């Protein structure tokens, strides 16, 4: 997993399983409380990760970073940082989704611009993009206020686009998932060597369900959460 050499999305998943419809997996998905030990084949795991990496981001800055934890010893340590939840050790893989608050400034803005130029975006637009990105993110860059405030929010927002995409792709391929927000960020950082300026956003456990899925808790009435034209 030091490299994802497979960035294609074949029409069929491995073992001849078809890909489920998005509407069906949205209807059927439940948070998985327990996983059995059946591994997720590397090829499918790469498909899931690659799907997330294709997510959109502002100025194509892709502030997401993913640590894929599969080794039993690392899972054990991660479980402790995740409030002891058994599914961290049980699941075939746990994707620790992180957001880098500094990478845009240190390297990624220039990297994204260069890559964009190689893909046909005119170089004449680069200076405008630089100014816009600095106006958007520059104020709090690298400060604690930034990491815990607006830049923290910005990376969380972006990371969740890729994270959610991975969750639906895993479910479409027939796997069970558990999105997790129950963890001590500092302990996850310590367990996996994640730097201070990187936010740990969420964990995604992927594998095969053991026992019953969690019950469906229902959803609020759409009239209470969807408004026409104006708030309320």
Closer residue to a copy of itself (CB): 36 or 227? 227
CB of 186 to a copy of itself, least distance (A): 14
CA distances from residue 135 to 11, 161, 221 in whole angstroms, order as listed = 41, 22, 39
64: three-class secondary structure by DSSP? strand
CA neighbor of 17 nearest in space, from 156, 174, 179, 142: 174
Per CB under 8 A, does 141 bind a copy of itself? Answer: no
The residue among 90 and 197 lying less far from a copy of itself, judged by its C-beta, is 197
Q: Does 210 bind a copy of itself (CB under 8 A)?
A: no
174 binds a copy of itself (CB under 8 A): no
Quick check: 226 binds a copy of itself (CB under 8 A)? Answer: yes
Examine residue 4 and tell whether it contacts a copy of itself (CB under 8 A): yes
Q: How far is the CB of 223 from a copy of itself (least distance, A)?
A: 4
* DSSP codes joined into one string, 201-220: EEEEEEE-B-SPPPPP----
User: Which of 105, 130, 141, 161 is close enough to bind a copy of itself by CB under 8 A?
Assistant: 161
Q: Which of residues 45-104 bind a copy of itself (CB under 8 A)?
A: 47, 49-51, 53-56, 58, 60, 62, 64-71, 74, 98
Q: Which helix (H) or strand (E) holds 25?
A: helix 22-28
Taking the C-alpha atoms of residue 67 and residue 7, their distance in angstroms, rounded to an integer, is 18
15-54 residues near a copy of itself, rule: CB under 8 A: 19, 21-24, 26-27, 29, 31, 47, 49-51, 53-54
Largest separation between any pair of C-alpha atoms in the chain: 57
Check residue 118 for interaction with a copy of itself (CB under 8 A). Answer: yes
Give the nearer residue to a copy of itself in terms of CB position, either 14 or 24.
24
Q: Which residues of 154-190 are buried (b: 16+ CB within 10 A; e: fewer)?
A: bbbebbbebbbbbbbbbbbbebbbbbbeebeeebbbe
> What is the closest distance, in whole angstroms, from the C-beta atom of residue 36 to a copy of itself in the complex?
21
The site for a copy of itself, by CB under 8 A, has a size of 90
Give the tokens for residue 175: 């796997």
Q: Does 126 bind a copy of itself (CB under 8 A)?
A: no
Query: What 8-state DSSP symbol labels residue 15?
Result: G
Residue 85: in which H helix or E strand, if any?
none
50 phi and psi, to 5 degrees? -60, -35
What gap in Å lies between CA 34 and CA 199, rounded to an integer?
26
Name the segment binding a copy of itself (CB under 8 A); options: 33-41, 84-92, 213-221: 213-221
Could you say whether residue 229 binds a copy of itself (CB under 8 A)? yes
């Amino acid at each position: 997993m030091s490299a994802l050499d497979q960035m294609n999305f074949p029409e069929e998943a491995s073992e001849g399983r078809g890909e489920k419809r998005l509407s069906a997996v949205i209807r059927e998905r439940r948070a998985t409380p327990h996983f059995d030990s059946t591994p997720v084949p590397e090829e499918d795991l790469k498909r899931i990760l690659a799907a997330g990496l294709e997510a959109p981001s502002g100025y194509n800055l892709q502030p997401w970073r993913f640590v894929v934890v599969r080794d039993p010893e690392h899972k054990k340590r991660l479980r402790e940082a995740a409030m002891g939840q058994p599914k961290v050790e049980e699941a075939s893989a746990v994707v620790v989704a992180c957001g880098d608050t500094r990478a845009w400034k240190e390297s990624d803005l220039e990297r994204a611009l260069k890559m964009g130029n190689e893909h046909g975006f005119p170089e004449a637009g680069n200076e405008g993009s630089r100014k816009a990105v600095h106006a958007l993110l520059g104020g709090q860059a690298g400060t604690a206020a930034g990491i815990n405030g607006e830049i923290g929010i910005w990376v969380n927002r972006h990371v969740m686009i890729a994270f959610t995409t991975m969750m639906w792709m895993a479910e479409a391929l027939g796997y069970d998932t558990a999105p997790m927000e129950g963890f001590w960020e500092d302990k996850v950082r310590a367990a996996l060597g994640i730097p201070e300026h990187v936010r740990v956003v969420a964990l995604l456990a992927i594998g095969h369900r053991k026992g019953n899925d969690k019950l469906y808790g229902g959803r609020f009435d759409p009239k209470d959460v969807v408004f026409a034209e104006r708030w309320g």
